[in-house]
Structure formats: structure tokens, C-alpha cells
Amino acid sequence: MNYSMIFYIISWILNVEAALMVPSCIVALLYGEREGMAFVASIALCLLLGLPRSRKAPPNKVFYTREGFVTVALSWICMSIMGALPFVFSGAVPKLIDALFETVSGFTTTGASILPAVEGLPHCILFWRSFTHWIGGMGVLVFLLCLLPLTGGGYHMNLMKAESPGPSVSKLVPKVRSTAKILYGIYIVLSVAELIFLLAGRMPIFDAICTTFGTAGTGGFGIKNDSIGGYSIYLQAVTTIFMILFGVNFNVFFFLSIRKPKAAFECEEARWYLGIIAASTLTITFFIRGLYPSLFLAFHHAAFQVGSIITTTGFATADFNLWPQVPRTILVLLMFIGACAGSTGGGIKVSRILLMIRSVSRELHQFIHPHSVNKVTLEGRTVEQGTLHSVHVFFITYALIFSASVLIIGFDGFDLTTNFTAVAATLNNIGPGLELVGPTQNFALFSPLSKLVLIFNMLAGRLEIFPLLLLFVKGTWKKF
Amino acid sequence: MKIIIVGCGKVGTSLAERLSGEDHDLVMVDLNAKKVNDASNRFDAMGITGNGASFNIQQEAGVDDADLFIAVTGEDELNLLCCLMAKKSGRCQTIARVRNPLYSKEIRFIQEQLGISMIINPELTAAREILKLLKFPSAIKIDTFAKGRVELLRFRAKPEIGFGKKSVMELIAKLKTDVLICAVERDGTVVIPNGSFIIEDNDVLSIVGSLENTAQFFEKIGIRSKRVRNSLIVGGGTIAHYLAQSLLKIGFRVRIIEQKPERCDYLSEVVPGADIINGDGSNRELLLEEGLASADSFVALTNMDEENIFLTLYAKKNSNAKLITKVNRISFDDVIESFDIGSVIYPKYLTADYILQYVRARQNSIGSSVETLYKLLDGRAEALEFAIREPSAVTGVPLMDLNLKDNLLICCINRKGIILTPRGQNKIQVGDTVIIVTTNEGLRDIRDILKD
């Protein structure tokens, strides 16, 4: 393990985090809020810890997969702890575990909150909450990669692999750093576009910025108690469309930007993703048509909730907890599917689901023709056995963590639906679940142990499990 | 520059390793998905699995806006086809590796007719390299600059020449020859020495000078350049074929030991002047019988690296011959170096070197003024030849007043064909070519030699 390199990168992460807290200070200044001091104190602390070690790059820049995974996991943990400080210092969230839950929920773009009411909070705290979504959406190490050459040439891939969602990382252009820059470019352009559309619908600028952050990172922290429910139909529609856009594989936007629309439309994963959205929306519309005055409104709310859940954003315009059983079931299933690989969304990812279903059908085919040779394909290419294997192992690990988490939080004594959806909502980075953790409820009722488990779930969900699990493997830390 | 490399074998990866260090955008193409993945992860390149000659794969690799297309798969015909396709679908320069001796006679015609910018033949290159060494046996390795007027020679300062415990300045003053000691290797590290540097016995020195001066230098230090008149070659592969042909041309006696009878038949047809011995080269009796003890030079060219090394170690013990060993695998070059078995030839490395020189030269037209580049001492140092085309901070100033980077030496100034060994009061002028030796990588312009 190249510890000096890991510390060097984490120090840089802390410096970057200090810089990212500056906008919150500005917000505090604009609104004349005393809580701004909490941010100044946090910035000072970040720099105190970050600056000394980040001055000089260590001479040994060797950086293997193991170091990449450990760095990413540790960075996210450190980032979350430091990010929780403003909540504690300002008194907005007095308990440390709650503040940590809120911050992790922010960075992992989950959007699950322990706050019963958010409208009373100072603007700078609300801004920070939403801003963490935007930072976490594309990933902070990817951001760091754009800014400075951390390690030598080929080693960058080891960082990117650990932080980017999806079964395999595809480069858009030869260099990892250039790829990171392009991804952030797309991210910023889409965010600005949403902001403009929201402002055009006469949303107040502060609300528009926070909603954009929540949508772009597919996070879901609202700044109103009723999430997005209070805004006009136009604003909700804009949010729906952008939620769905941010859940699309960013490769598609890249192909569009270099004027290769054919390649963009041929993206199999994105087509399935949009297909699933369309099918679910129509089914749900059919079942809830009686609850709303017009069919259009039923469609509107169905589309919003489907978009919000499948992209793992977690905004709500309606309390879907009160909907009939079929729509509720569909929504819970969508939680697991998640968005596309290479997007800002969470969940298992459409491409993994496709690969698993195709593996099953290949297996069945083998029963009928035991000697036949079949390959699983995706995007018109044969998928290597190694990739398939890692997808299967991912799913098994995912299921194990899921069951263990449900078991542990079961000791708090709530009903199964609550426990099940609470774990689903955190492990898939969605936010709201059903029953006691439904869209109008929050996670404050759980015991500290359960919160810790849910925090773990959120991080595991965002980093796709393995970087985090690697921290608990003995061999990771051994010299030989 | 955007460079597409087809073939992720030893040459392809060794090229990628060095090109990625120089900040080029690389795309690697190979049929083997695992090789592509490994290469693209290791060198920060984009990897594409598929046949490099296919139009679709080339499109995917972005041949439209590529500057250079290099085909180095194991097959000549595929390489040529790749380049032909790339030439037709893009506007890039193309380089192909073609190794079949049959084609090598027609290479000029192929190159012209197919419009390929450069054709590289690793075996021929290796044979030429060996030939150079046999012509000048005191050196371990020779590179030439300024169209062959300047030589860079590498040799071991054996205790008997008495260099030990003397400083560079003393030696030069004592020998009164116009050569420059530009690099010293000791225990695996490379030092660019200044005047007060103390040389130890068994250091490996690299010297730069004009042809006459280097010859004079070797004479003065008492290494009489014993002329090599004959050569014992073990392994009758393609390199041996090329080598024997060119050695016979300059009047050498050549003896080739080859195990396979059919190959022997073939060799005796194509190099009729050489003695072809059918037998096992690793048989000690056979080697001695065929005159190993009195051979002037011994060249191990079998297909097995290990066998080659053993053979030269054995020859070192039993003769005074100049030893040359061919090693295919690059990975353990530093270990092999420590055996002290004279000159080691890495054909794959040479191929990559030649292509790299071409890439540097291409870049010439986009800003950099590097004429030629040699990776010295297994890539631990570089010798660069710069053409001075315009006045800058380095021209017209006495060299001793230049604030040069550490580990960098101006070795040679070529002024209209006259080779100057630079001293403190010399100045660089417009129109010169200057040779710099340095351990800092990535110099692009003559101004890069100054401290920032």
C-alpha cells in the first residue's frame, strides 16, 4: 500500500472540500445569517488537516487498483465527516450521528433526511445540503482528476474505476483526465440548462439553484417540507424531464455533442431505460386515474414519481405511500433497477439488470441445447466472461448486504415494509421509502445503530459496494 | 499527437509506454480483449478490441483525426493492409512492421506503391545494430548523430585502463582528446558528470565525439581497437541471415550453428559464403570444436533468451571474443545488465526506438525542434539532437553563463559539418545542431535546457 500517496490525495480532497464550502459562506453573507460562521470554522478545520500534506507530491506515485479503491472509500468517509461539521456547528442538526447521516445522504445523492421540517433552516445550511448532491453526483475524485495530475499516467484509471458507477468504465477519449473533464463539462451544461428552464418558470432563484443541484446529482433534498409538490405543473414537468436526462448514460450526451446522433440512439441501455420508464408510467397512470381530477394530472404525477424513483432522485410531488398496491409495488421494483451506468443515478443499473437477465436466458438455452455456444451481448458486443462474473458477484454481495441490513434495523421494531424500503431507499441512493419512511416522513425514528447501518448502505450504494468492503479485508492493509 | 497503435504485443506496448510518457493521445487496437484492457489501463490509452484492418474498427479508433497510424501486429500482410486502409480512410502517416526477408528486398517498391511513411523490419534493424558493434568492438553500444559524423559510445572502465579515482577534468586534460564523458553508470544509476566528478573502476562510461576523436581516445587509453575479422553465430534465424549477409560483404569469416537441418539447407542457399554447421549450439564440445576459443566475436541469436545468456556466459569464460547477446523479453533488462556480458541487443526495443525517433521527428513540424532522439542506457537517459533555427535565450551566450538544468550536458555542437566539443567559452549559434544528453525526459525545445 502506498500510504503517502493515499494521504496526499485525501489531503487534496479536504482542500477541495474547503473550497466547495465557500459558496455556502457567500449565501450566508447574502442572507445575513450568523450560521455562516459554522462554515468558516469548518473551512479552517479542513485546511488545517489538508494543507500540510498536500504541499508536495510523494516521490513514489505507484498506484494500483487496491490503492485506488481504498483512496476512494476513505475520501468519501473523510469528506462526509468534514461535511457534517457545519450542521453540528450551526446547531441545525445537533447530534453528530444525525449530521453524519444527513451529509452522507447528501454526498451519496440519496436524499434521505432525518429532519422533520426543513423550511425553518437557515439558507446557507439548505444550500450546503443541496450542494452536496451536486458534488457527490459526478464524484469528487473525478473532479480532482480534472484539476490536477494526481498520479502518473495509467494509474488514473484505478481511481476512475472505483468512483464511476456501472459494470465497466468506458473512456470517451484516450486520456482519463480528458474523459473526466468531458464528463464534468456535460454535467455543468445540463445543470445550467435546467436552471434556465426553472428560472423561466418563475421559480425563485434560490429555490431554482437548490432544485437543480438536487436533480443534477439525482439526490432529492428539497428545501420545502412538501419537496417539489408546492411548485407549478410546469416546474414539476421540467424537473421530471431533467431527472430522467441525468439518469441517462453520459456517453449518449457525449455522442450527441460530437455530432454522432446515430451512435447516441443506438445506446441499448438508454433505450431500455426509457422503455422501462414509459411502461411503468403508463401502468401507474392507469391505476391511479381515479385519485386525480384529470387523466393528465394522473399521468403527470405518475411520470414524476417514476422518474424520481428510477433515477434514484427521490423528489416527490405526491404521497405515493397512499397509492394503490400495484403502483407502490412497481415503484419499489424500480428502486432496484436504478438508472443507467455512467450517469449520476444509483441503484443496480439498467445495464447490470440486462446482463443478468441475458445470462439467465443463456443458461436456460444451455439446458435445451447442452452443447450450444452462446455469448451474452450488450450494445452489440460480446460481453466478456469476466465482466459477467463481476456483475453476478456484485448482485450476490448486494443481496447479502441488503438482507443483513434489514435484519439489523429490524431490531428497532418497525414493520417489514418500513425496514425493507428503508434499506432499499438507502442502498439504492433514492431517499424516501414506504410507510414510516414514506415521502412525507423521515428517518429520524431509527436508533443510532440502525442509522449507522443505513449510512454504510448509502456509501456502499454510491461506491458500488466493493471499495467500501475492501476496507474491512485484512489483506488490504498488509504489506505482503 | 493522436496515435493509433494496432497490435498490443511487446513492440506495441513498449511503444505505448514511451509515447504515453510524452503526452500523446493513444488508441490501442488488438484482437485479444485482455491485452487491450491491460494496455489501455497501464498506459492511459483508449482500448479497442477488433481487427485493426477493418474499416469500422478504424473508424471507431478515430482514424479520421489521427496523426499517426502504427501497425505492429505479428503478421506482415495484416500490418500492410491496416496501413493501406488507414491511408485511404484518414489523412494520417502510417508505419508498418514488415519482417519477412522475402519482402525486405522489395521494401522500397512496397513503401512507395502503398504510400506507407515508414516500414520497419526488427530483424534487419537488429542485424544492423550488431554490425555496428562488430565494427567497433571496444564499445558496448554505439549510436550515431549528425548523419553519422558524431558517435556516442558506451564502454566499461575496466581497472586496467586506470581511470579509477580520477576526476573527469583530470582525465580529459591528461588524454588531450576532444571527447566528452557525457554519462556514467554505477550500480544501476545514471549520472551526468560535471568536471569534478570522480570516476571509479568498473563504471560504464558514455563518450561523445567525432569519429576520429573517439578512435583516438580509445587508442590513447590503451584499448587497442582490435579488429574483428570473424564471427561465430549461434542460432540461424532471420537476424543471423541478415547479419551474415552484411558481414560477408565487408570480408568477415562467418560461421553459423543451427539446429534444424531444413533451416541449414535454406541458409546455405541464401548465404553461400558462410560456414553452416548443423548442430546443437548449446553443446559445449561442438562450440569448442567450431573454434569458439579463437573466435573474434560470438553472437548468440537463438530464440531462447535464457539460452542466449548462458551461451555468452560460457563464451566469456572460454574466449576473448567480443560478445553479443540477443534478448527478446525486455522486462528484466537491468538484471541482464548486471551479468556483464558485453552488448545486449533487444530487437523489440530497437523497433520501438526507431518508431519513436520517427514520431519525434514528425512532431518537429508542430513546434518541437528535436531532430533525433536516442534513449540511452535502457531509457534512463536521452540524447537529443536539436536544430537551432532561430535566435533565442541560448544562442550567442558563452556556455558557462547559461543556467542549465541539473543532470544535463551539452555534448557536441555541429557547425556546418565541423564537430566542436563544447568548452565553457563556446557559444551556440543559429544554424548549429546541438546534442544534449540528459536524464530529464520530455525536452521539446532547445530552450527547455535552461532552468525555469
Does B21 sit within 8 Å of A174, measured CB to CB? no
Cell of B54: 477493418
Mean pLDDT of chain B: 84
Interface A–B counts its CB contacts (< 8 A) at: 30
For A472, other C-beta atoms within 10 Å of its C-beta total 9
Q: Are residues B371 and B268 in the same domain?
A: no
- Does B354 fall in a domain? no
Task: Report the distance separating Cα A318 and Cα A313, nearest Å.
Answer: 14
Residue A48 has what DSSP assignment?
A: H
> Which of A157, A168, A377 is the best mutation test for B, with the most CBs of B within 10 A?
A157
Distance between B188 CA and the closest CA of chain A, angstroms: 18
| Residue B20 touches partner A, C-beta closer than 8 Å | yes
* Cβ atoms of residues B263 and B256 within 8 Å: no
Residue-number span of the structural domain to which B160 is assigned? 144-220
* Cβ atoms of residues B266 and B260 within 8 Å: no
* Cβ atoms of residues B141 and B341 within 8 Å: no
Distance between A64 CA and the closest CA of chain B, angstroms: 10
By a Cβ cutoff of 8 Å, what residues of chain A touch chain B?
153-154, 156-158, 171, 173-176, 178, 384
Task: Report the distance separating Cα A343 and Cα A139, nearest Å.
Answer: 11
Instruction: Report in angstroms the alpha-carbon separations of B440 from B6, B358, B410, B436.
Output: 29, 20, 13, 11
Pick from A153, A157, A384: which is nearest to B21 by CB?
A: A153
- Does A382 fall in a domain? yes
- Does A272 fall in a domain? no
Chain A hits for B44, CB-CB cut-off 8 Å, are 153-154, 156-157, 174-176
- Taking only Cα atoms into account, the Rg of chain B, rounded to an integer number of angstroms, comes to 23
Does A154 sit within 8 Å of B42, measured CB to CB? yes
| Residue B2 touches partner A, C-beta closer than 8 Å | yes
Pick from B26, B41, B42: which is nearest to A174 by CB?
A: B26
- Does B187 fall in a domain? yes
* Cβ atoms of residues B69 and B62 within 8 Å: no
Distance between A67 CA and the closest CA of chain B, angstroms: 15
Cα A19–chain centre separation: 21
Q: Are residues B279 and B367 in the same domain?
A: no
User: Which portions of chain A are predicted below pLDDT 50?
Assistant: none
At A218, the amino acid letter reads T
pLDDT band at residue B443 using 50, 70 and 90 as cut-offs: confident
Q: Are residues B334 and B377 in the same domain?
A: no
| Residue B79 touches partner A, C-beta closer than 8 Å | no
Backbone angles phi, psi at B130, to 5 degrees: -65, -40
- In this predicted structure, the answer to whether residue B366 has a pLDDT above a threshold of 80 is no
Q: Is the dihedral of CA A3, A5, A8, A13 positive or negative?
A: negative
Q: Are residues B253 and B320 in the same domain?
A: yes
Residue of A166 and B36 predicted with greater confidence: B36
At A262, the amino acid letter reads K
Q: Are residues B209 and B272 in the same domain?
A: no
- Does B6 fall in a domain? yes
Question: Domain count of chain B?
Answer: 4
Cell of A399: 443481496
Chain B hits for A157, CB-CB cut-off 8 Å, are 40-41, 44
The CATH number assigned to the domain holding B83 equals: 3.40.50.720
Task: Report the distance separating Cα A422 and Cα A414, nearest Å.
Answer: 11
Does A174 sit within 8 Å of B46, measured CB to CB? yes
Q: Are residues B165 and B207 in the same domain?
A: yes
Chain B hits for A158, CB-CB cut-off 8 Å, are 41
ipTM above 0.95, yes or no: no
- Does B320 fall in a domain? yes
Which of A74, A70, A10, A112 is CA-nearest to residue A455?
Answer: A112
- In this predicted structure, the answer to whether residue B378 has a pLDDT above a threshold of 70 is no
Cell of B158: 575496466
- Does A380 fall in a domain? yes
For helices A325-337 and A268-288, angle between their N-to-C axes, nearest 10 degrees: 160
Chain A hits for B21, CB-CB cut-off 8 Å, are 153
Distance between A156 CA and the closest CA of chain B, angstroms: 8
What's residue B239's pLDDT? 92
Does B41 sit within 8 Å of A174, measured CB to CB? no
pLDDT in tens, B55-113: 989 988 889 889 899 999 989 999 999 999 998 888 888 999 998 888 877 888 888 88
pLDDT band at residue B379 using 50, 70 and 90 as cut-offs: low
Pairing of strands B433-438, B253-258: unpaired
Does B41 sit within 8 Å of A153, measured CB to CB? no
Residue B450 has what DSSP assignment?
A: B
Pairing of strands B253-258, B230-234: parallel
The conformational region for residue B208 under phi > 0 = left, psi -120 to 50 = alpha, else beta, is beta
Does A154 sit within 8 Å of B20, measured CB to CB? yes
* Cβ atoms of residues B352 and B366 within 8 Å: no
Task: Report the distance separating Cα A308 and Cα A312, nearest Å.
Answer: 6
Does A174 sit within 8 Å of B45, measured CB to CB? yes
What's residue B147's pLDDT? 66
| Residue B26 touches partner A, C-beta closer than 8 Å | yes
At B342, the amino acid letter reads G
| Strand, coil or helix: A215 | helix
- Does A438 fall in a domain? yes
Cα B379–chain centre separation: 10
Distance between A68 CA and the closest CA of chain B, angstroms: 13
| Residue B219 touches partner A, C-beta closer than 8 Å | no
- Does A385 fall in a domain? yes
Compute the half-sphere exposure of residue A60: CA atoms within 13 Å on the CB side of its CA: 11
- Does A454 fall in a domain? yes
Instruction: Report in angstroms the alpha-carbon separations of A109 from A58, A312, B249.
Output: 32, 8, 75
Q: Which chain B residue has its CA at the smallest distance from A383's CA?
A: B33
Cβ burial, residue A396 (10 Å; 0-12/13-18/19+) = exposed
Q: What angle do CA A422, A425, A430 make, to 5 degrees?
A: 150
At A458, the amino acid letter reads M
Distance between A173 CA and the closest CA of chain B, angstroms: 7
pLDDT in tens, A317-352: 888 888 999 999 999 999 999 999 888 888 899 999
Cell of B332: 528484466
Does B44 sit within 8 Å of A176, measured CB to CB? yes
- Does B177 fall in a domain? yes
Which of B50, B5, B3 is CA-nearest to residue B23?
Answer: B3
**Of B156, B190, B220, which one is at a domain's C-terminal end?**
B220
Ranges of beta strands (E only) in A100-144 are none
- In this predicted structure, the answer to whether residue B181 has a pLDDT above a threshold of 90 is no
> Which of A175, A179, A376 is the best mutation test for B, with the most CBs of B within 10 A?
A175
At A255, the amino acid letter reads F
* Cβ atoms of residues A269 and A361 within 8 Å: no
Chain A hits for B40, CB-CB cut-off 8 Å, are 157, 171
Residue B194 has what DSSP assignment?
A: -
Query: Which run of H or of E encompasses B249?
Result: helix B238-249
* Cβ atoms of residues B357 and B333 within 8 Å: no
Question: Domain count of chain A?
Answer: 1
Q: Are residues B165 and B215 in the same domain?
A: yes
- Taking only Cα atoms into account, the Rg of chain A, rounded to an integer number of angstroms, comes to 22
Cβ burial, residue B417 (10 Å; 0-12/13-18/19+) = exposed
Compute the half-sphere exposure of residue A431: CA atoms within 13 Å on the CB side of its CA: 34
- Does A398 fall in a domain? yes
Task: Write b or e for each residue in B358-389: b if 16 or more Cβ atoms lie within 10 A of its Cβ, otherwise e.
Answer: bbbebbeeeebbbbbbbbbbbbebbbbbbbbe
For A289, other C-beta atoms within 10 Å of its C-beta total 14
Q: Are residues B341 and B285 in the same domain?
A: yes
- Does B13 fall in a domain? yes
What is chain A's length? 480
Chain A hits for B20, CB-CB cut-off 8 Å, are 153-154
> Which of B13, B44, B56 is the best mutation test for A, with the most CBs of A within 10 A?
B44
Task: Report the distance separating Cα B269 and Cα B271, nearest Å.
Answer: 6
Pick from B33, B43, B46: which is nearest to A154 by CB?
A: B43
Interacting residues of B189 by C-beta distance below 8 A, sequence separation 6+:
none
Ranges of beta strands (E only) in B169-302 are 180-186, 189-191, 198-199, 204-210, 230-234, 253-258, 275-278, 297-300
> DSSP assignment of B259-280, as one string?
S-HHHHHHHHHH-TTSEEEES-
Q: Which chain B residue has its CA at the smallest distance from A263's CA?
A: B60
Compute the half-sphere exposure of residue B70: CA atoms within 13 Å on the CB side of its CA: 27
- Does A426 fall in a domain? yes
What's residue A154's pLDDT? 63
Q: Are residues B182 and B157 in the same domain?
A: yes
- Does B127 fall in a domain? no
Cell of B421: 566539443
Distance between A58 CA and the closest CA of chain B, angstroms: 18
**Of B316, B345, B374, which one is at a domain's C-terminal end?**
B345
Residue bearing cell 581497437: B225
Task: Report the distance separating Cα A376 and Cα A369, nearest Å.
Answer: 16
Mean pLDDT along residues B203-210: 84
At B443, the amino acid letter reads L
Task: Report the distance separating Cα B151 and Cα B207, nearest Å.
Answer: 8
The conformational region for residue A366 under phi > 0 = left, psi -120 to 50 = alpha, else beta, is alpha
Chain B hits for A154, CB-CB cut-off 8 Å, are 20, 41-44
| Residue B362 touches partner A, C-beta closer than 8 Å | no
Residue-number span of the structural domain to which A422 is assigned? 350-467
| Residue B402 touches partner A, C-beta closer than 8 Å | no
| Residue B63 touches partner A, C-beta closer than 8 Å | no
Provide the percentage of residues in chain A whose pLDDT is more than 70: 99
| Strand, coil or helix: B126 | helix
Cell of B53: 484492418
Pick from B21, B27, B44: which is nearest to A157 by CB?
A: B44
Does A175 sit within 8 Å of B43, measured CB to CB? no
Does B25 sit within 8 Å of A173, measured CB to CB? yes
Task: Report the distance separating Cα A364 and Cα B20, nearest Å.
Answer: 45
Chain B hits for A377, CB-CB cut-off 8 Å, are none
Task: Report the distance separating Cα B123 and Cα B115, nearest Å.
Answer: 22
Distance between B44 CA and the closest CA of chain A, angstroms: 4
Strands of the sheet containing B180-186, edge to edge, are: B141-145, B150-156, B204-210, B180-186, B189-191
What's residue A163's pLDDT? 81
Task: Report the distance separating Cα B433 and Cα B330, nearest Å.
Answer: 32
The CATH number assigned to the domain holding B196 equals: 3.30.70.1450
Does B27 sit within 8 Å of A153, measured CB to CB? no
At A302, the amino acid letter reads A
Does A176 sit within 8 Å of B20, measured CB to CB? no
